[in-house]
Structure 1
Amino acid sequence: MRRDINYFFGIGNLVRDPDLRFTPQGTPVCRFSIAMNRRYRDKNGNFVDDTTFVTVAAWSKLGELCARYLSKGSRVAVVGELRSSSWEDRNGGKRVSYEVRAENIQFLTPVKPAVQEEVKEIPDLGSDFEAPEPFTFDAADAEEEILGDLEDIPVDDQEEGMAPF
């Protein structure tokens, strides 16, 4: 049997506060949407800004933590799988929606000091839970280490098979 890969990784900002609900069996599920921005050049060389919105569902303890510590504007890294749901609307039309079922969410926005103190006092989070800390990467310091000594190579955009960036 062939095995397919369904793996989502994205970094973005919450577009609104998370929504925590519970299934009839009492399982928590927290849903929120993130906006992921990208910039590219169109065929005329103009910069185009594009935003992709993705709905994320975090279940159980992960969902409770997201509802408690995230808010509109929070920056997160989400790892999970893409899930689809299909249904018929009121007019009989077929509809499909997609969401990411989160397996791991990294909080990239620093936790406010008052909330950080609250996290230290919560006894039921388990021994492996630590207060979220932001991920930082200073490209200026790391550029030389990552890239090493590189030469500038002129590129002719008009060469066959080459598209302008």
Structure 2
Amino acid sequence: MNNVVLIGRLVRDPELRFIAGTGKAVCNFTLAVDKNLARDKKKEFEEKGQSTADFIRIIVWGKQAENCANFLAKGRLVAINGSISTSSYKTQSGETRYSTDIIASNVEFLEWGDRGSDQNKYKDDDFTAIDDDEEITF
């Protein structure tokens, strides 16, 4: 079984391109997923300059790729369901390089709107209080 579920934030804006010949959309982005570290261990990592997150490359295909490019941005929180894909290639110098990506089958947007806006913050009601000390009779 090859199934991956991740929740994290986009490291940079997604990149959308279309495959020549087929016109199929493909979107790439990197997801920062926090390592599940205890508070003291996380502090230790930070003091040593070590990363407290894993940076995972995500690949999305089709209409969902277009939606990601249109509605996601750097810093946005998303949930990914997909599978691991590994590959290798040779560089011009003859070195073999390996890559591990997640092919997303589902991308769920966990935040909407502008990150800088206050649309999700608590707002006080705009009601005006009325001074009324009279008893109500029934």
Aligned-partner Cα distance in 1 for 2:94–2:43: 41
Aligned-partner Cα distance in 2 for 1:59–1:35: 20
Aligned-partner Cα distance in 2 for 1:62–1:46: 37
The Cα RMSD (Å) is 1.9
Runs of at least 5 residues in structure 2 that lack an aligned partner in the other structure: 47-51, 115-119, 121-138
Say whether 1:95 aligns with 2:83.
no
**Which of the residues 14, 20, 28 maps onto 2:16?**
20
Say whether 1:36 aligns with 2:67.
no
Q: Deviations over 1:83-135 (max 9, x none)?
A: 012101122111111111100011011234xxxxxxxxxxxxxxxxxxxxx9x
What amino acid sits opposite 2:64 in the alignment? L
**Which of the residues 27, 37, 45 maps onto 1:48?**
45
Where does structure 1 differ by over 6 angstroms across 4 or more consecutive aligned residues?
none
Larger Rg, first or second structure (1 or 2): 2
Residue 142 of structure 1 is matched in structure 2 by: none
Q: Which structure exhibits the higher relative contact order, with contacts defined as CA atoms closer than 8 Å and separated by 6 or more residues?
A: 2
Percent identity over the alignment?
35
Write out aligned runs for 1:112-131 (5 A): 112=114
What amino acid sits opposite 1:21 in the alignment? R
Q: Deviations over 1:2-37 (max 9, x none)?
A: xxx111110000000000001111000000001011
Cα pair distance change 1:37/1:87, threshold 3 Å? same
Residue 48 of structure 1 and its aligned partner are, at CA, apart by 3.2
Runs of at least 5 residues in structure 1 that lack an aligned partner in the other structure: 113-133, 135-165
